[in-house]
DNA sequence: CTGAAAGCGCTTACAG
DNA sequence: CTGAAAGCGCTTACAG
């Protein structure tokens, strides 16, 4: 079981070589090595001057924000065309208006890790869905040291936290003190932060109860990343106590409500390969083998099933497996997974709506989403011991 | 073969219900429905006043950008603490400095579609890798009507185009006229735009030659999305002529260099499911069946292989399949794929470096990456007809 | 319908 | 080491 990162998508490193092709020269900056602002671009004031109007009127013309005579407008637009002016400078506008049209999205991990989880992508899409039409764009911020600075220094109007750990709390405080609204998806509830929650604990309990009803006694957990440590391994009490990932922890708790002494394996995140590694760790020893596995995501579940198959086990005859998310997985082994279907897109949309309401000065209520049990064909009663 | 979107990750829609939980109230804005800027946050000027220094000195203290006596600095910092001032307003700073620290990333499709392709995620990560350390963050912009506006109205210092179609050209022109550097990854070369290229045509030709050498005569293509039409279907001449996706088109051309009359199937994008659909379309009719398929991505290739298996064909005995990208695919069917490995992370990094150099006033040269042939176990000589 | 005035909050030469 | 001055480019009440 390698300790290296499981998936090296792109596997570039040693792949192709880069060749600096000769010829073309870069973006319209001839030889202005010492002039930071290359060509002195025209300003609204210049356009107004040329059109023979005041800057105020020119501004109105460009923003449709007041009554301007047709002829005047034409003159202004013509002047702009002649000068090569394409509209107000966003930086000045955002200072003046107090709004930048940018919403920061704080992800716990690297972009690559975050987007490997389809749930995150779908949620992001949901946020963009709702906030895009009013002219907002999303700024990607990760929890690394460098972008911590950006969280405080970026001109953002609002922030959405993606299941972030407490380590961002201090930065979030600063952001809040600045009057920037904060929305958190599946995070540990924070004061003054609009919470978009998922019933992780209850949903997992439902899965556990399903297994209990089927008669399973020896159940193991395969968890998402528990903390920033990036360590795989047996799920121990201390490990759980030290966990910083609220979502993973809630799901552990839900399982414990049915199986108080449940053990298992902690992975590095939601991928099939991680699930496979966990599966081998849990299933290798035939004598200590669980009869059912609660995986904290569908991808992990798919990996566990693959490991089971590799070990010659049949699902669900020899092993029951449940997942979480309800994502359509491109893996035959995971077809028909018993799982909880969570409304990821709706979660993203709710977060987006929350942002918009907060920005409008409203006081939106926290929202709580529930997952739906979907019984598939990966769970069955345990086989009688030594038939 | 359904015409609906192949993958509905999150499958939310009908999944869980939202319940507005009572209780908590949103981010520190009590009852300021009419005051856009809720709490009047302290400014640098206020801090300076309280500390008994000039704004200039206070600014220097906060930016470490000049010599400030230790005692003075302490006084300023203390005043800031008392007032709850956490640093300069990013909007004002960016107007004054002419830099926002934001790099726009323009994606051709919805976020969800774009991030379904692991290559895009890895490239994004590469850009962030290189640009993040100097305090830059990435702003996600898609080609939809709404965010076209953002491309022009967002306070971005530079733009990276992700294989964008000509439809963005006009907006890009405006951006360029503003003096904003533009870098394009695998795009149709545009004047004044720094080009980060991949040898799509040559790489595909190499794959085609590999098949030709093996003896294949009846070869079919499975392409990426050719245009914004979102239509699947047989790859026809007119369809190719109307294509707007430079990458897909270059890969078609590379295949044509070896198989001038090559036909095939156009998909909606790089997913296993799309490949599967294409595979069924191409392989269903045993009499018209190709002996080899050139899929324009590994994911598509995996889908084709799955379709082949479903039709009772054996790869590579009955059908050879090649992919593109060199991504590690979590699908047993695609293990050992013959493909071209492209350096996606390096492409992203090169784009990031290009942005940084352009921002520094330099004139970076275009960069051209090459893919590496990786022979797997999915290609073999064609079976003799009717043995 | 148009203009003069003020100011968003900061940073940067430039003097001292 | 510190301060006075100017200005980044725009928008918004407010008069007219």
A146-155, A268-277, B109-118, range with greatest mean pLDDT: A268-277
CA distance B148 to chain A (A): 9
* Stretch among B18-27, B186-195, B198-207, B342-351 having the lowest mean pLDDT: B18-27
Q: Does A2 touch chain B (CB under 8 A)?
A: no
Q: Residues 25-64, chain B: which have Cβ within 8 Å of A? A: 25-29, 32-39, 41
CA–CA min distance A300, chain B (Å): 12
Q: Do B150 and A136 touch (CB under 8 A)?
A: yes
**How many angstroms separate the CA atoms of A69 and B91, rounded?**
32
pLDDT digits (tens, 9 = 90+) for A224-254: 999 887 789 999 999 999 998 899 999 999 9
Long-range CB contacts for residues A190-196, cutoff 8 Å, separation at least 24: A192/B26, A192/B27, A192/B28, A193/A161, A193/B27, A194/A354, A194/A358, A194/A364, A194/A366, A194/B24, A194/B26, A194/B27, A195/A366, A195/A367, A195/A368, A195/B21, A195/B24, A196/A347, A196/A350, A196/A351, A196/A354, A196/A366, A196/A367, A196/A369
pLDDT digits (tens, 9 = 90+) for B10-52: 343 445 455 443 333 333 333 333 333 345 789 999 999 999 9
Could you tell me the distance in Å between the CA of residue A135 and the C1' of nucleotide D11? Answer: 18
Which pLDDT does position A376 carry in this prediction?
A: 94
Taking an 8 Å cut-off on Cβ atoms, the answer to whether B28 and A176 are in contact is yes
pLDDT band at A351 (very low <50, low <70, confident <90, very high): very high
Same topology between domain B102-198+344-370 and domain B200-341: yes
Residues 6+ apart with CB under 8 A from B251: B200, B201, B203, B204, B223, B224, B296, B324
Nearest nt to the CA of A70 via C1' is: C1
Q: Tell me, what's the pLDDT at A152?
A: 85
> Is the model's pLDDT at B234 over the cut of 60?
yes
Q: A101: Cβ under 7 Å from strand D?
A: no
* Residue A80 confidence (pLDDT): 93
Chain B residues near residue A302 by CB distance under 8 angstroms = 330
Chain A 313-352, residues with CB within 8 Å of chain B CB atoms: 325-328, 330-333, 341-347, 350
What is the mean predicted confidence (pLDDT) over B291-315?
96
Give the residue extent of every domain in chain B.
Answer: 44-88, 102-198+344-370, 200-341
Q: Is the CB of A45 under 7 A from strand D?
A: yes
**pLDDT tens digits for A156-204?**
999 999 877 667 777 788 888 888 999 999 998 888 999 999 999 999 9
Higher pLDDT, B199 or B152: B199
Give the confidence band of B155 by pLDDT, cuts at 50, 70, 90: very high
Residue B338 is classified by DSSP as: B
Q: If contacts are CB pairs under 8 Å, which of residues 182-221 in chain A contact chain B?
A: 182, 189, 192-195, 197-199
Q: Which of A9, A192, A362 sits opposite B118 (nearest CB)?
A: A9
Candidates B29, B33, B62, B111: best to mutate against A (most CBs of A within 10 A) is B111
Chain A positions in Cβ-Cβ contact with residue B272 (cut-off 8 Å) = 330
Report the distance from CA of residue A59 to the C1' of nucleotide C3 in Å, as an integer.
12
A232 to chain B, minimum CA–CA distance in Å? Answer: 20
CATH code of B200-341, in short, is: 3.40.50.2300
Instruction: Tell me what pLDDT residue A29 has.
Output: 36
Chain A residues with CB under 8 Å of B147 CB are: 132, 137
Most confident of A5-14, B3-12, B31-40, B106-115: B106-115
Q: Single out the residue of A333, A218, A236 nearest to residue A285, CA to CA.
A: A218
Distance between CA atoms of A82 and A133, rounded to whole angstroms? 31
Q: Is pLDDT of B110 > 90?
A: no
Task: Convert the pLDDT of each residue in A334-345 to its tens digit.
Answer: 789 999 999 999
Q: Which of B93, B147, B333 sits opposite A132 (nearest CB)?
A: B147
A75-94 average pLDDT score: 93
- Asked if A154 and B132 come within 8 Å (Cβ–Cβ), the reply is no
Amino acid A18: pLDDT: 52
pLDDT band at B9 (very low <50, low <70, confident <90, very high): very low
B residues 145-174 closer than 8 Å to A (CB): 146-147, 149-150, 152-156, 174
Mean pLDDT estimate for chain A: 86
- Which DSSP letter does residue A168 get? G
Mean pLDDT of A115-124: 92
pLDDT above 70 as % of chain A:
87
Q: Are A273 and A305 in contact (CB under 8 A)?
A: no
Residue nearest to nucleotide D7 (CA to C1'): B96
Per-residue pLDDT, A110? 84
Please name the residue that has the structure tokens 């994004």.
B124
| Structure confidence at residue B385 (pLDDT) | 58
Is A302 a residue whose pLDDT tops 60? yes
Judged by average pLDDT, the poorest of A190-199, A309-318, B65-74, B275-284 is: B65-74
CATH assignment of A102-198+344-370, given 3.30.70.120, 3.40.50.2000, 3.40.50.2300, 3.40.50.300? Answer: 3.40.50.2300
**Using only C-alpha atoms, what is the Rg of chain A?**
27
Percent of chain B with pLDDT over 70: 87
To the nearest whole number, what is the mean pLDDT of chain B? 86
- Average confidence (pLDDT) over B98-109: 91
A304 vs A316: CA distance, rounded Å: 12
Rounded percentage of chain B residues whose pLDDT exceeds 90: 66
From the list B19, B21, B124, the residue facing A111 with the nearest CB is B124
pLDDT at B63 exceeding the cut of 50: yes
Best residue of A5, A7, A11 to probe chain B, by most B CBs closer than 10 Å: A11
Q: What integer pLDDT is reported at residue B147 of this predicted model?
A: 62
Chain A interface, best mutation among B10, B112, B357, by max A CB count within 10 A? B10
Q: Which residues contact B362 (CB under 8 A, 6 or more apart)?
A: A26, A33
CB contact under 8 A, B21 and A149: no
Residue B329: closest CA among B42, B117, B145: B117
Q: Which of B2, B6, B15, B309 to mutate to test the interface with A (most CBs of A within 10 A)?
A: B15
Residue A97 has pLDDT above 60, yes or no: yes
**What confidence score (pLDDT) does residue B14 get?**
42
What is residue B137's three-state secondary structure? strand
Contact A387, B56 (CB under 8 A): no
Q: Is B18 helix (H, G, I), strand (E, B) or coil?
A: strand
Give the pLDDT of residue B230: 77
């Amino acid at each position: 079981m390698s300790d290296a990162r499981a998936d090296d998508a792109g596997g570039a490193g040693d792949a192709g070589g880069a060749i600096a092709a000769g010829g073309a020269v870069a973006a319209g900056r001839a030889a202005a090595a010492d002039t930071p602002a290359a060509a002195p671009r025209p300003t609204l004031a210049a356009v107004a001057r040329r059109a023979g109007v005041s800057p105020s009127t020119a501004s109105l013309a460009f923003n449709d924000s007041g009554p301007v005579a047709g002829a005047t407008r034409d003159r202004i637009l013509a002047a702009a065309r002649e000068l090569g002016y394409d509209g107000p400078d966003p930086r000045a506008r955002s200072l003046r208006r107090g709004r930048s049209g940018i919403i920061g999205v704080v992800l716990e991990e690297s972009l690559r890790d975050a987007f490997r989880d389809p749930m995150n992508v779908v949620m992001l899409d949901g946020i963009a869905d709702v906030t895009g039409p009013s002219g907002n764009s999303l700024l990607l911020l990760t929890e690394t040291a460098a972008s911590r600075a950006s969280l405080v220094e970026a001109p953002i109007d609002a922030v959405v936290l993606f299941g972030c750990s407490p380590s961002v709390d201090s930065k979030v405080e600063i952001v809040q003190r600045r009057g920037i609204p904060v929305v958190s998806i599946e995070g540990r509830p924070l004061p003054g932060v609009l919470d978009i929650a998922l019933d992780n604990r209850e949903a997992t309990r439902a899965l556990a109860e399903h297994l209990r009803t089927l008669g399973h006694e020896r159940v193991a957990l395969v968890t998402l990343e528990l903390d920033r440590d990036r360590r795989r391994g047996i799920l121990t009490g201390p490990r759980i106590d030290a966990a910083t990932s609220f979502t993973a922890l809630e799901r552990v708790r839900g399982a414990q409500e049915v199986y108080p002494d449940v053990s298992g394996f902690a992975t590095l995140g939601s991928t099939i390969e991680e699930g496979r590694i966990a599966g081998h760790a849990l299933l290798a020893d035939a004598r200590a083998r669980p009869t059912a596995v609660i995986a904290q995501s569908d991808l992990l579940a798919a990996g566990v099933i693959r490991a089971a198959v590799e070990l010659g086990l049949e699902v669900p005859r020899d092993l029951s497996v449940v997942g979480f998310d309800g994502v359509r997985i491109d893996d035959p082994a995971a077809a028909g997974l018993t799982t909880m279907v969570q409304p990821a897109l709706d979660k993203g949309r709710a977060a987006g709506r929350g942002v918009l309401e907060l920005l409008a000065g409203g006081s939106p209520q926290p929202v709580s989403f529930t997952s739906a049990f979907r019984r598939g064909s990966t769970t069955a009663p345990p086989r009688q011991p030594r038939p």
